[in-house]
Amino acid sequence: MSHENFSHNESPTNHLPKRIALVLVDRDGTLIERVDYLSDPNQVKLFPGTIPSLRTFAKLGLRVAVITNQSGIGRGLYSDSDMNAVNDRMLALFQAEGVGVDGIFYCPHTPDEHCSCRKPGTGLAQNAADQLGFDVEHTVVIGDNISDIEMGWQIGVPSILVQTGLGNEFKDQVKLAGGIVVADILQAALQIEKMITSTSMESPDA
């Protein structure tokens, strides 16, 4: 869903908090190629940078949670089982390369249901952080949709727009607001690595 303007309560936070522990990453258009209302596991295709990015997160000691809006369930276009089959295929591709994620969290609701979990609402992020034992303020967000960025800014954490998936549609809007825009998820991972390294070098305890 496109928003013409950001809420007055939303503004970029481009510096990592003192402690970063969890990456909240979108699925469709970020980790895997975007297919409208994806329900066929055979259509799952990873972006070239997906595996290297997960390796980078592991090297940095970061945990990873996938958070995804899946309104196709609420619209009756596919079932929870269909979505799980897609996720299982993605996880199998990860496992084949020796990487993985710590959890997948989804919102099945349509926009008309006005739930708290659908991005840009923060409920999905909060749920992921709670279940994995982290403070949601110790996260960083990566996604291809304006809803991902708005969610992260509402939480008050760094949020990185990738130009895969829907990203090109929103890149100018995010840049104009002072947000972070990169080519793909690997560049997002490298940006996070740079931010962590910079923060460590500036810390008196480093």
* Tens digit of each residue's pLDDT (9 = 90 or more) over 93-151: 999 999 999 999 999 999 999 999 999 999 999 999 999 999 999 999 999 999 999 99
Active-site annotation holder among 26, 82, 144, 148: 26
- Provide the percentage of residues in the chain whose pLDDT is more than 70: 88
DSSP label at 33? -
Answer yes or no: pTM beyond 0.85. Answer: yes
CA distance 198 to 196: 5
| Composition of the chain by helix, strand, coil, percent to 5 | 45, 15, 40
Tokens 């975007």 belong to 34
Annotated active-site residue 135? The verdict is no
CA distance 103 to 67: 9
86: nearest Cα among 104, 62, 98, 65:
104
Looking at the DSSP bridge assignments, the partners of residue 24 are: 65, 141
Q: Is the pLDDT of residue 7 over 90?
A: no
**Confidence band (pLDDT; 50, 70, 90) for 202?**
low
Tokens 């469709």 belong to 28
Q: Is the pLDDT of residue 185 over 70?
A: yes
Annotated active-site residue 130? The verdict is no
Active-site annotation holder among 28, 82, 144, 184: 28
**Confidence band (pLDDT; 50, 70, 90) for 28?**
very high
Q: 26-199 domain in CATH 3.40.50.1000? A: yes
SS3 195: helix
Enumerate the domain spans of the chain. Answer: 26-199
